[in-house]
Structure 1
Amino acid sequence: MIDMTVVELSRWQFAATAMYHFIFVPLTIGLSVMMAIMESVYVMTGRDVWRKATLFWGTLFGVNFAMGVATGVVMEFQFGMNWSYYSHYVGDVFGAPLAIEGLMAFFLEASFIGLFFFGWDRLSKVGHLAVTWLVALGANFSALWILIANGWMQNPVGSKFNPDTMRMEVTDFVAVLFNPVAQAKFVHTVSAGYVCGAVFIFAISCLFLVRGKHVELAKRSMVVAASFGLASALSVVVLGDESGYIATEHQKMKIAAMEASYHTEPAPAPWTIFAIPGPDGGAPSFSIQVPWVGGLITTRSLNEELPGIDELVEHAQTRIRSGMVAYDALQDIRADGSNAEARAAFDEHWADLGYGLLLKRYREDVGNATDAEIAQAAADTVPGVWPLFWTFRIMMGLGFFFIGFFALWFYRASRGWLETNKPLLWFSVFLLPLPWIAIESGWFIAEFGRQPWVVEGVLPTFYAASGLSFWDLVISLSFFVTLYSVLLVIMIMLMVKIIKAGPQDKLFAEDEGDDADFVVAALPATPANKELGS
């Protein structure tokens, strides 16, 4: 029988490392593009303030990038350590985008980031600008391939289970690349990263203004951040709507859980603004709804129903029974590979094999499952409704808030009112954590909402975990959480020092005696550091 404590600890460990890692990813994506925009302005205008801005934000980008690499590598090792059966079962499909990400995107970004820091006095202005844009391109390419892999987990297209190798294998790599779920997730996630970068630059620039430091650089950075942030915030909401529409087609249970919709609503379905769970944590006992809006958002029509949780559970029972047939046929094929009748049965029912595997939580001989066990396995297809319900509303509310926030500042920037309202500037400074709250909420919805599947409809999460012991996971989870927390504190302290030091004229100073380069930009202006810089 499956040890669910081990499975839950494995999930907690991957969730902890993934959520820590995703603190750094969106800021890397956002800063990379914005510093490329600022350097483009510098090359076009020749004004040194834009060069200083690129240097300053680029230094913060470099610190964040290093932390993202350190936390991201650990995640990939976990596929073999904590999720070994997952790696065996779907590695043929999932491994390809990860390999391409490393070869095409990460190497591109990692190679040119060195030229970005060391090439200011060795490359022409246009040459260095090209390097900066290649760094930004690498960051976005990296997100693309990771989200192609993750999108396949949400909607496993272009692949089929091979009963002879006992694993999923690619049948159409083009379908994997152009998976509509992956494409929608990519543009939505990247836009959220742009918003994160814009809020980061804007908040720090506001801090400079209220303290009367680096005013010219702060004003210009705020103009870029307000313009870029407004466009990005609008695209986040629009592309998030597209992502939800696609999920309605491929992940109906996730959408029903996000809306706390236990029963199929007549078309067009309403949208629930607020709801209170029932006494048993089930269907809402009280709700405030807006007519028609739910149907328009999820189905983009006025005549399509939005399936409810109860009806989807009944449908899951049908698929579980079909999966039982596929599982029994698979056992017959393993016993006799030439059994044509078993292969025919498997080919007819293989798409529901994953639903049959849900029964493995309750018994080894899946083909003999009772009606009660089938009903319980079908009930397991419902993710946590109320965490999804409220997390989605937090994310959506923040998305619309950022539109209003950047629209206000875009208007003020167009009027030259950037430093006329200090309370508003301080308010903007304290908004700095909000994009991370929205982004982490989005990832929680995407991954928690897919449960109980690690690959939607193909492989249950509990079936994908390695057979590690309880103490193996407790020790490793404690170690990672402690280590990542320490690293996060160190990174924040380092960024605070860089911000306090402010913009520098140069990242590197050349020593005439031995042509050596010394990093001086990120150091506080102490007498010892000034001596080092000289």
Structure 2
Amino acid sequence: MELDIVSLSRFQFALTALYHFLFVPLTLGLSVLVAIMETVYVMTGRPIWRQMTQFWGTLFGINFVMGVATGIVMEFQFGMNWSYYSHYVGDIFGAPLAAEGLMAFFLEATFVGLFFFGWDRMSKVGHLAATWAVALGSNFSALWILIANGWMQNPVGSVFNVQTMRMEIDNFADVLFNPVAQAKFVHTVSAGYVTASLFVLGVSAWYLLKGRVPELAKRSMTVAASFGLAASLSVVVLGDESGYLANEHQKMKLAAMEAMWETEPAPAGFTLFGFPDQQARETHFAIRIPVVMGLIATRSLNTEIPGINDLVRSAEGHIRNGIVAYDALQKIRAVKPGEPVPPEAQAAFEQNGRQLGYALLLRRYVDDPRLATDEQIARAAWDTVPHVPTLFWSFRVMVGLGFFFILLTATFFLLSATRQLDRRRWLLRVAVAAIPLPWIAAELGWVVAETGRQPWSIEGILPTAVAVSDLGITTLLITICGFSVIYTVLFIIEMKLMLRAISKGPEADHGAPAPLVPANLVAAE
């Protein structure tokens, strides 16, 4: 029953998280694109740039509202579904979330009102400052959220308090400047910029295909192609940094992404294609590119990347050390107030305390980890292996889409530079069809990040199986159904509002609909 509760709790959080992230990338990217467009308007004074800012700003506003509504629900889920997680690490995890609300969300929410209602009440420069404040707030909000998530992947700057049985912040600077968190932030934000760029590119291409507002569409495509090309290239570079950090801090995740069962001689090759078989513990029909993974993950030609089997053996050793730490912890907590702590217990915990979380992996099989058998320890060690096929294929589809985005944005960048945006109608259709692809890539990125961390809610510290609330299966099923219905309704509303705004099109600066271009003036296919 416990496993069912864990699985259902994970499914519910994944449902709400993936739905919420449908809105986050577009919010991050559109806020910056809109600010760039308004900057050009202030610098040139040309009304068409104000028209562009207001149109894309309207789409940003619709998306922003939905993102806020779904994001608030997620934070409540930590207390609802993950109460022991909240108790165990709330002192650390709650700090970035509180900072996000006080320092980022309030900034964003305050100035978004000025953006929509301050056009005729503020100076041009004042309104531009408000627009950039919205963009800054949106990205600053992502920073704090990813600091919290980065700590889950690499729990630095924290210590375990024996008396309170909770993790506490030891060095907030380490939490703030956690290299995993910083890499995740720039990678996620860049992915958001790509998402918004392809959204603007695709919608603008649709307008050109329909012969509507060509001047606005072409200018929008120029901005989107330039911004999107830079962002797409940065995503690849930052993805390389993420691979290097994964080898530093999450070796099992990297090995699972590569379906690398055995440790290979350095430098390891990159598996381009294959069929991972988790039961047989091998990858069938693997096609490998020599050297590449070694360069990405180690930045060298002579450093090995450990395989899954070796990492499992290492995990078994960590579990045995964790049992020693667990035993020492029980002895320390059994000491009555005023009595001295047995020095051997204190020394044992100080030496093995960092592996305490590995002992908790045994709670799936035995209430007291000290009573675990060798077979149970071996099973718990293999539990540290995430679902390899999911990671393997999610990563490769995401990477493949990333290179496609570079090709697409580079193509439209060249077309823009040569003033041929409307000369290749088949390319315009490709741009329209590509609109949903960045969302697929972004969602797969989170699948890789979060599935690859399993079985941990906090890497090496707190297993997911012991982090859940004491809820009944019926309660979880009811709430899952409720969230599914509500979020489906919200998604339908979101799509209708966005499609209606796009169908209506941008309005001219004086408030009347922008004139359509006669079909006979559109370039022939």
Aligned to 2:449: 446
Aligned to 1:113: 112
1:339 aligns with 2:338: no
Mapping for residues 161-200 of structure 1, pairs under 5 Å:
161-200=160-199
**Distance in 2 of aligned mates of 1:450 and 1:147:** 15
Aligned to 1:414: 417
SS of alignment partner, residue 48 of structure 2:
helix
Aligned to 1:514: none
Mean Cα deviation higher: 331-340 or 47-56 = 331-340
Aligned to 2:54: 55
SS of alignment partner, residue 396 of structure 1:
helix
**Distance in 2 of aligned mates of 1:264 and 1:498:** 54
Say whether the 8 Å CA contact 2:294–2:301 is kept in structure 1: yes
Q: Give the residue type in structure 1 aligned to 2:342.
A: A
Q: Give the residue type in structure 2 aligned to 1:375.
A: A
**Distance in 2 of aligned mates of 1:54 and 1:356:** 55
Aligned to 1:321: 320
Calculate the TM-score normalised by the size of structure 2: 0.95
Say whether the 8 Å CA contact 1:208–1:214 is kept in structure 2: yes
SS of alignment partner, residue 449 of structure 2:
helix
Say whether the 8 Å CA contact 1:55–1:506 is kept in structure 2: no
Aligned to 1:512: none
Say whether the 8 Å CA contact 2:294–2:304 is kept in structure 1: yes
Aligned to 2:519: none
**Distance in 2 of aligned mates of 1:252 and 1:277:** 18
**Distance in 1 of aligned mates of 2:406 and 2:424:** 20
Say whether the 8 Å CA contact 2:275–2:389 is kept in structure 1: no
Aligned to 1:285: 284
Aligned to 2:64: 65
1:40 aligns with 2:26: no
**Distance in 2 of aligned mates of 1:256 and 1:279:** 13
> What is the Cα deviation at residue 148 of structure 1?
0.2
Q: Give the residue type in structure 2 aligned to 1:146.
A: I
SS of alignment partner, residue 285 of structure 1:
strand
Aligned in 2, Cα 1:258/1:198: closer, same or farther, shift over 3 Å? same
> What is the Cα deviation at residue 330 of structure 1?
1.1
1:236 aligns with 2:235: yes
> What is the Cα deviation at residue 288 of structure 1?
0.5
Q: Deviations over 1:457-490 (max 9, x none)?
A: 0000010000100010000001101111111111
Give the one of 380, 384, 388 matched to 2:387. Answer: 384
* Aligned Cα root-mean-square deviation (Å): 1.3
Aligned to 1:310: 309
Q: Give the residue type in structure 1 aligned to 2:341.
A: N
Q: Deviations over 1:116-164 (max 9, x none)?
A: 0010000000000000000000000000000000000000000011010
Q: Give the residue type in structure 1 aligned to 2:471.
A: L
> What is the Cα deviation at residue 501 of structure 1?
1.1
Aligned to 1:85: 84
Aligned in 2, Cα 1:488/1:280: closer, same or farther, shift over 3 Å? same
Mapping for residues 236-275 of structure 1, pairs under 5 Å:
236-275=235-274
1:482 aligns with 2:481: no
Q: Deviations over 1:290-340 (max 9, x none)?
A: 111111111111100010000000000000000001111111111115323
> What is the Cα deviation at residue 281 of structure 1?
5.1
1:461 aligns with 2:464: yes
Q: Give the residue type in structure 1 aligned to 2:302.
A: N
Mapping for residues 220-235 of structure 1, pairs under 5 Å:
220-235=219-234
1:493 aligns with 2:492: no
Calculate the TM-score normalised by the size of structure 1: 0.94
> What is the Cα deviation at residue 276 of structure 1?
2.1
SS of alignment partner, residue 386 of structure 2:
coil
SS of alignment partner, residue 288 of structure 2:
strand
Q: Give the residue type in structure 1 aligned to 2:49.
A: W
> What is the Cα deviation at residue 278 of structure 1?
4.2
Aligned to 2:506: 503
Say whether the 8 Å CA contact 1:226–1:410 is kept in structure 2: yes
Aligned to 1:350: 353
SS of alignment partner, residue 23 of structure 1:
coil
**Distance in 2 of aligned mates of 1:278 and 1:190:** 34
- The share of aligned pairs that are identical, in percent, is 63
Aligned to 1:202: 201
1:369 aligns with 2:372: yes
> What is the Cα deviation at residue 280 of structure 1?
3.5
Aligned in 2, Cα 1:190/1:469: closer, same or farther, shift over 3 Å? same
Mean Cα deviation higher: 84-93 or 275-284 = 275-284
Say whether the 8 Å CA contact 1:84–1:464 is kept in structure 2: yes
**Distance in 1 of aligned mates of 2:109 and 2:313:** 50
Say whether the 8 Å CA contact 2:48–2:509 is kept in structure 1: no
| Count of aligned pairs between the two proteins | 509
1:425 aligns with 2:428: yes
1:394 aligns with 2:393: no
Aligned in 2, Cα 1:179/1:124: closer, same or farther, shift over 3 Å? same
Q: Deviations over 1:260-293 (max 9, x none)?
A: 0000000011111011234935311221111111
Say whether the 8 Å CA contact 2:278–2:389 is kept in structure 1: no
**Distance in 2 of aligned mates of 1:482 and 1:14:** 15
Aligned in 2, Cα 1:279/1:14: closer, same or farther, shift over 3 Å? closer
**Distance in 2 of aligned mates of 1:158 and 1:29:** 28
Q: Deviations over 1:37-86 (max 9, x none)?
A: 00000000000000000000000000000000010011000000000000
**Distance in 2 of aligned mates of 1:195 and 1:69:** 21
Which sections of structure 1, spanning at least 5 residues, go unmatched? 510-519, 522-534
Which sections of structure 2, spanning at least 5 residues, go unmatched? 514-525
**Distance in 2 of aligned mates of 1:322 and 1:419:** 66
